[in-house]
Amino acid sequence: MGTGDWGLGIGDWGKTITHYSLLITHYPMPHAQCPMPHAQCPIPFSAITL
C-alpha cells in the first residue's frame, strides 16, 4: 500500500535533490528514509521551493 504515493514522492524528491542538493545535505535523513510525504516531512520545504 502507498506504492503510488511513494513513487510520486521519490520522483519529486529526485528533482529537489538535483536542484537543491546543498540544502538537502542539511536534512536529518534521506528522502528514501522519510516516513512521511515530502510535504509533511519535518523539513523546511518552503525554503526548498526558493
Instruction: Compute the distance between CA of residue 50 and CA of residue 36 in angstroms, rounded to an integer.
Output: 21
Domain that holds residue 30: 13-47
pLDDT of residue 2: 44
pLDDT of residue 1: 40
Number of structural domains (the chain) is: 1
How does DSSP assign 1-50, residue by residue? --HHHHHHHHHHHHHHHHHHHHHHTTSSS-GGG-SS-TTTSSS-HHHHH-
Q: pLDDT of 1-50, one tens digit each?
A: 444 444 444 555 555 555 555 554 555 555 555 555 555 555 554 554 44
Instruction: Compute the distance between CA of residue 17 and CA of residue 30 in angstroms, rounded to an integer.
Output: 10
pLDDT of residue 13: 54
pLDDT of residue 50: 42
19: in domain: yes
24: in domain: yes
Residue 36 cell numbers, joined: 512521511
20: in domain: yes
Instruction: Compute the distance between CA of residue 3 and CA of residue 45 in angstroms, rounded to an integer.
Output: 22
